[in-house]
Amino acid sequence: MSLTVYRKAHFNAAHRLYKEGWSDEKNLEVFGKCSNPKYHGHNYELEVGVSGVIDPETGFLMDFKILKDIIKEEIEDPFDHKNLNLEVAAFQNVNPTVENIAIEIWNRLRKRLHAKYDISVKLYETPRNFVVYNG
């Protein structure tokens, strides 16, 4: 009886889209106003899905409380109220597009969740733009 449980979380952060080695003109041409050197920001809304088999004893796939705490430790604490380009090591050399942020989130959760679980990450950058990454 495979099933997926989902937990929502959120963090507010600043970022800019920028490729090192490109001129400012080239960055502006490709990334538009998202390349603003003084940064802009978003309320990122996150949905983490964990797929697996239900424990017949508890009726839990996994305890939502534990999942909530892992998301807090791995994602909310290090990302919330931060400048992603300047304060999250993963984005020193990786452009913090919503695609790359979703992959980074997936990688962080993968290290913390048992291999028996599959993981999916849905990340809203705005209410209109979002991505899904399943590894």
Taking the alpha carbons at both ends of the chain, their separation in whole angstroms is: 22
Distance from C-alpha of 130 to C-alpha of 111, rounded to nearest angstrom = 23
CB of 97 to a second copy, least distance (A): 4
* Residue 86 near a second copy by CB under 8 A: yes
Tell me the Cα Rg of the chain.
17
* Residue 94 near a second copy by CB under 8 A: yes
Burial of residue 48 (number of CB atoms within 10 Å: 0-12, 13-18, 19+) = buried
Q: Which residue from 40, 69, 73, 92 is in contact with a second copy, where contact means CB under 8 A?
A: 40
87 noted as active-site residue: no
99 noted as active-site residue: no
Q: Which residue from 95, 109, 113, 117 is in contact with a second copy, where contact means CB under 8 A?
A: 95
Distance from C-alpha of 98 to C-alpha of 128, rounded to nearest angstrom = 12
Q: How many residues bind a second copy (CB under 8 A)?
A: 61
The structure tokens 């600043």 sit at 14
Residues serving a catalytic function are 34, 81, 125
* Residues of the shown chain interacting with a second copy in the complex, contacts defined by CB under 8 A: 1-8, 10, 12-15, 17, 19, 30-34, 36, 38-43, 49, 54, 57-61, 63-65, 80-83, 86-87, 94-100, 102-103, 126-134
